[in-house]
Structure 1
């Protein structure tokens, strides 16, 4: 049985991906930072459906906690075969001229640095160069990496653009080591992240600009993530799946 680690899996896209991964036969490592109850709830749902899962607390902006996280997953669930870098944050909508250096650093630490460091730990376990059997890495980016998110989240867009660059470069570096690296770029998904940005009903405001005229569901993004994490996408690396309602 394969083991998948999903960062930020206590809610939203991460939680939906954890549930779907279990249905596809993965042992699931549910990472969370603060909301233990929510993470344990996801684990309980998986176990009630006959799957294997465990919650792991770690702040993935901190390298020492990332190392501890991966070591605990090794011990409790076995050899890691898939990593989903799902952790992502944004702050209140703002023009770029009002974004502080401190805010930009917080966004990059949570969204970009965490992804970079988790990829490093995953490679050390998956790469055939280090005695692994290969694996998959799926980075959760955003349509903001293409649009730039003007007037709202330019700092968030910057962080996701960096993830796109990492996905492309790393996919080529480790292709010969049995590791495939891909990304999903969601947008306008019904999750709590819009409330974090100060506009919980944002999708309702903009849905008429979306070709499909609606927001997306976390479960729809999870389907794309699981396809890239699974052997069904065995001839794909360095690609992006946009789950954006046509935008």
Structure 2
């Protein structure tokens, strides 16, 4: 069977992508940055669907870690898919009050990390494949007063998605992105604003935040043969926002 690598696969949207990928018949490499127990739990969920799983620790901003991640994936079989889900936001602050160390770290993980993983993927997808990058509606909305630096990093990923899609189309590799809106994960608490979902959820056009499973379903569609003519697309999954 084909293998899919999911970066940041131990929690939130990434964990749901791993489980839905397994339910769709893929073997899954669960990449994680620090929580080995959570990654092991996700791997067990993958295996409960009768698929093989491999949990691999690695910082996507580290070239050596990314190369090791992709080398490890070979043990499961040929690489078909990559889901670039790993990402960080840093603390919430106006741009004038943001520190440069936070901005650099966000860019390293969110932009350089996606670049490195895409590079290693296209080097190995000799029989074609599919890449799905997880961006954000922040790339379009700007996240003024909160995370302008994060929004900028996701806009960069959307540009990378479009450009790489054109580069590798003739090789049978499709590159797309999903842009989630407000989603019910631990993302906001990590950024120091645990009440953000409660504050903003009711103000969404659909009156609620999204569920990680709803985002994962879109990712799996873009990975699948059903999306065979989709490449260079950014699909907003944002409840109408």
TM-score, normalization by structure 1: 0.96
Alignment correspondent of 2:82: 83
Deviation at 1:49, TM superposition (A): 2.7
Deviation at 1:42, TM superposition (A): 0.8
Alignment correspondent of 2:29: 29
Deviation at 1:240, TM superposition (A): 1.2
CA–CA distance in structure 2, aligned partners of residues 95 and 156 of structure 1: 12
Secondary structure at the counterpart of residue 174 of structure 1: helix
Q: How many residues align?
A: 241
- Written as runs of structure 1 = structure 2, the 5 A alignment for 1:44-55 is 44-55=44-55
The partner residue of 1:147 within 138, 141, 148 is 141
CA–CA distance in structure 2, aligned partners of residues 81 and 15 of structure 1: 18
Secondary structure at the counterpart of residue 70 of structure 2: helix
Deviation at 1:208, TM superposition (A): 3.0
Deviation at 1:63, TM superposition (A): 0.2
**Structure 1, residues 19-73: CA drift from partner, whole Å, max 9, x if none?**
0000000000000111000000011122123221111111111001100110011
Computed over aligned residues only, the root mean square deviation of the Cα atoms, in angstroms, reads: 0.8
Secondary structure at the counterpart of residue 41 of structure 2: helix
Name segments (4+ residues, structure 1) moved above 6 Å: none
CA–CA distance in structure 2, aligned partners of residues 150 and 25 of structure 1: 41
Alignment correspondent of 1:129: none
Contact kept, 8 Å, 2:4 with 2:80, in 1: the verdict is: yes
CA–CA distance in structure 2, aligned partners of residues 54 and 25 of structure 1: 15
Alignment correspondent of 1:106: 105
1:205 aligns with 2:199: yes
**Structure 1, residues 146-188: CA drift from partner, whole Å, max 9, x if none?**
0010000001001000001000111111111110000000011
Alignment correspondent of 1:13: 13
CA–CA distance in structure 1, aligned partners of residues 17 and 221 of structure 2: 11
CA–CA distance in structure 2, aligned partners of residues 67 and 20 of structure 1: 25
CA–CA distance in structure 2, aligned partners of residues 199 and 101 of structure 1: 20
Deviation at 1:230, TM superposition (A): 1.0
CA–CA distance in structure 1, aligned partners of residues 28 and 114 of structure 2: 18
CA–CA distance in structure 1, aligned partners of residues 192 and 212 of structure 2: 20
Secondary structure at the counterpart of residue 136 of structure 2: coil
Deviation at 1:201, TM superposition (A): 2.1
CA–CA distance in structure 2, aligned partners of residues 159 and 186 of structure 1: 14
